[in-house]
Chains A and B, each alone.
Chain A
Amino acid sequence: MTEIAIPRLKLEHIYKSFPGVQAVSDVSLNVYGHQILALVGENGAGKSTLMNIVNGVVPLDSGKIYLDGQLVSIPSPRRALELGITMIHQELALIPELTVGQNIFLGREPRRWGIGVDWKRLYAQAQRELDRLGIEVSAQATIADLSIAQRQLVEIAKALSYNARLIALDEPTSSLTSRETDTLFRLVRSLREEGVALIYISHRLEEVFELADRIAVMRDGHLVAVGNASEFTPAEVVRLMVGRELAEFFPKVPAKRGEPVLKAVNLKAGREVRGVSLELHRGEIVGLAGLVGSGRTNVARLLFGADRLEGGEIWFEGRQVHLRSPQDAIRLGIGLVPEDRKAQGLFAGQSVRYNAGAGLIQRLSRWGFIRFQAVNRIVRELVERLRVRTPHLNQKVRNLSGGNQQKVIIARWLGLNPRVLILDEPTRGVDVGAKAEIHALMSELAAQGMAILMISSELPEILGVSDRILVMREGRIVAELSREEATQDRIMQAATGQL
């Protein structure tokens, strides 16, 4: 192919720093049409920053960008779109108050009589776009009414609808389950056939090796390796990312199952939860698997008192409890790391210290005064343990990379040391090293007697961490598998109902 000769995108000596951080340092990289380039690296390595530079979201400090051989400057997202460059952002970038169609065509609405928006055409086009991609969402639906996975799909539809020449996908699968991921992969491959240049950022190495033609590895803002995918092994990529040998997997310590702590009997709420019973014991990690939309998150929220129960009972340490609010749950010692960190978990404008320590403050107060030293000590410990990459504890969480934000929320709950911890997609967007660290921490906490319920759409994670696995489908628990019985196939069969 002649097109290979001139790179679609050529980056030369790109530098970018933020106060206290050299986010991107001397990166030179070629991206070609008809190819998928996977960009990998630890949390905070600079992947998103590099893509944001190419998309005109953040200005570069120095360096040159060539597009199809032409030197270009990309001062704004608008310019990037004009040049045929678009991006699916790591943090969902949709406006909750607007409809799907309005979001997709924001900034380029079809006109009527020159001044008015042609709503009919807008919705028809948006619906066609969604249908083409096999996304079962109405163009007229309001974003706020959609689930996270549906939003992610809308975001993908939006990016693809620009007919761009260069598309960056920043962790597009982090909230998708296998079915939607398959849809996405199909789309990405067909775009490659059409000649689009694709940059694919992911922490899931299986995906990287499944999709990518080339792999580029970043570490501490530098590009440390780039080459054809066939030249790498997963272990090598990990070593390049982390810069050292990673003790592959922490051996799972089988749990000593203690007495039951939390028992749910026939929970019901709306159409999402239609009679769920489960029991959590001290010392065990229970994995909750299922497709997106099967009601897993709803169960978690019910157990945390965040939603109202329409039927059923919750028992905590042998007593029936009525959770009227998350406060009630926290008082009993039940914690929840929510799925949507941006909306439900973080105080984005506050510091790392504040976010990680928020839960500790009550516990560590004496006579109404916060014992800051104690809070600081614990926060520092957790931040080091989870390897949160931040210049200092006073950094605003908003300025951390996506994966590091996730670590901060987890740190908050781990610091609280609850008796029951519910984690909803805890390692979404977290790099391999930190993921292993989080898993190890979970095992350790379980061994100390905590009961853990973990929701995850990543089957390897479910299989690797859980002592026992529950599978949900359409609001019910349809299978319970022991660690020994469980396989990816058995879980998927139960989750999709093809038993």
Chain B
Amino acid sequence: MLNGNHSSSFISFLRRTSTYLILLVILVWFALLSPEFLTVGNLLTIALQTSLVALVAIGMTLTIITGGIDLSVGSVAALSGALAAGLATRGGLGTYPGLLIGLLTGLGMGFLNGAMIVWGRIPPFVATLASMAIARGLTLVYTQGRPIAGLDKTFTFWGGQGALGIPVPVWVLIVVAFLAYFLLKHTPLGLHIYAVGGGEETTRLAGVNVGLVKFSVYLISGLCAALSGLILTARLWSAQPNIGVGLELDAIAAAVLGGTSLAGGVGGIPGTLAGAFIIGVLSNGLNLLEMPSYNQQVVKGMVFILAVMLDYFIKQRQAKPKGNPAD
């Protein structure tokens, strides 16, 4: 509206769509290079693999928009999976109470993070780094470092095939993504999440309970991590004590690729999903091309840098001096 000239509206178009364009380019590229890539089966595999990172990335996005971060997600996923599996099998509680406790574990760790950050005034990076260690430690203590197997069908259902031939984890992702999108775009809490990231003091002055907003995002992030952990456990037919190592980095990468600013105040669910799919498609495609996994890491890192640089470049072009624009 203000910068109405041609080039800047094109730039702002790029700005809004760069993540999707990158995803599209990668899709086309793999489709051309590998005949198996563009099959329904393979696309569903990608969706299934991506759903785990994407779920966590959704919660991560919320924390990053408030200007925070949640490094504990990978460990929380492992702890939730382990407790749920353990209580459901050798604890004798049954599957549903086990799953419920798994989810409550996520909320509990989210609460711990929120309490440290809001009440303890510990910077989110430090607080969640601590809870990352705590959750991983608890997982190892509880499992004694060994897998917990023997899950029944109602448990493994959550990692398997669902309605319309679409895997259950993908359905879960769809539901969670929709809820998170609604939360961010259509509820006061969502607006306040952006507001806290844009200016915490200002938000406080407007009468918003900033502590509550922060608590909410860490609770949600914990819940998302737990969901992801339970699903992964269900898929593996057992709880593994060392799942989710490095998951936080993938989730942060997905959010950042999707245009979420680590400085806070900016970001969204569609972008994060696209970011997660960029990561997922890249892994899948490179596997199909039979690239060794060590090399894959290098390629992924480079794509990440390129994407972020592109984003930065576009942003810079778009940033106009905020002097006194003529009325």
Contact = CB atoms under 8 A, between A and B. Distances in A.
Interface of A: 55, 57, 76-78, 80-82, 89, 93-98, 102, 106-109, 111, 115-117, 119, 136, 138, 141, 144-149, 270-272, 292-298, 300-301, 306-307, 339-340, 343, 474-475
B235 to A, nearest CB: 33
Contacts of A96: 198-199, 265
Given A107-B207, A297-B324, A93 B199 contact: yes
Interface stretch (B185-193, B226-234, B239-247): B185-193
8 contacts: A93-B199, A95-B194, A95-B203, A97-B265, A102-B191, A145-B1, A146-B325, A340-B322
A87 to B, nearest CB: 8
Given A95-B195, A97-B197, A294-B326, A141 B2 contact: yes
A108 B174 CA distance: 30
B202 A95 contact: yes
Contacts of B146: none
Contacts of A119: 186
A303 to B, nearest CB: 12
B203 A147 contact: no
A307 B322 CA distance: 10
B13 to A, nearest CB: 16
A272 B326 contact: yes
Given A98-B194, A98-B198, A301-B321, A271 B326 contact: yes
B191 A109 contact: yes
B33 to A, nearest CB: 39
A325 B187 CA distance: 43
Contacts of A98: 191, 194-195, 198
Contact of B323 (A97, A117, A298): A298
B321 A298 contact: yes
Contact of A93 (B188, B202, B209): B202
A96 B203 CA distance: 12
Contact of A77 (B182, B204, B320): B204
Contact of A109 (B2, B188, B204): B188
Given A77-B205, A141-B1, A270-B320, 18 more contacts: A93-B206, A95-B198, A95-B202, A96-B199, A106-B195, A109-B191, A117-B188, A147-B324, A149-B324, A271-B326, A272-B325, A292-B324, A293-B326, A297-B323, A298-B323, A300-B323, A340-B322, A474-B326
A306 B321 CA distance: 8
Contact of A89 (B186, B191, B198, B205): B205
Contacts of B265: 95-97
Nearest to A89: B205
A111 B189 CA distance: 12
Interface residues of B, number: 34
Interface string B285-327: 0000000000000000000000000000000000011111111
Nearest to B266: A97
B208 interface: yes
Given A106-B195, A117-B191, A93 B205 contact: yes
B208 A93 contact: no
B229 to A, nearest CB: 28
A300 B207 CA distance: 38
Given A98-B194, A106-B195, A116 B202 contact: no
Contact of A272 (B186, B201, B205, B324): B324
Contacts of B266: 97
A298 B324 contact: yes
Nearest to A92: B202
The dominant DSSP class at the B interface is loop
A205 B171 CA distance: 66
Given A97-B198, A141-B2, A115 B187 contact: yes
A82 B206 CA distance: 11
A307 B324 CA distance: 13
Contacts of A57: 205
Given A109-B188, A117-B191, A77 B206 contact: yes
B191 A339 contact: no
Contacts of B182: 116
Contacts of A343: 322
Which 9 A-B residue pairings sit nearest by Cβ, starting from the closest?
A297-B323, A95-B198, A78-B207, A97-B265, A107-B206, A106-B206, A97-B198, A107-B207, A107-B208
A101 B252 CA distance: 30
Contact of B208 (A97, A106, A116, A272): A106
Contacts of A82: 207
Contacts of A109: 188, 191
B324 A148 contact: yes
A147 B205 CA distance: 22
A293 B186 CA distance: 34
B207 A147 contact: no
A115 B3 CA distance: 35
Interface in B250-273: 265-266
Nearest to A95: B198
B325 A293 contact: yes
Contacts of A293: 324-327
Contacts of B202: 93-95
A470 to B, nearest CB: 15
A182 to B, nearest CB: 16
Nearest to A151: B322
Contacts of B204: 76-77
A271 B321 CA distance: 12
A94 B207 CA distance: 13
Contacts of B203: 95, 106-107
A325 to B, nearest CB: 13
A97 B197 CA distance: 9
B207 A77 contact: yes
A475 B326 contact: yes
Contacts of B208: 78, 106-107
Of A89, A272, A339, most buried by chain B (CB within 10 Å of CB) is A272
A95 B65 CA distance: 13
A291 to B, nearest CB: 9
Contacts of A76: 204, 207
Contact of A108 (B3, B195, B207, B320): B207
Nearest to A298: B323
Nearest to B204: A77
Nearest to B202: A93
A478 to B, nearest CB: 14
Interface in B37-60: none
Contact of B187 (A117, A141, A147): A117
Contacts of A106: 191-192, 195, 203, 206, 208
A475 B324 CA distance: 10
B321 A307 contact: yes
Interface in B71-92: none
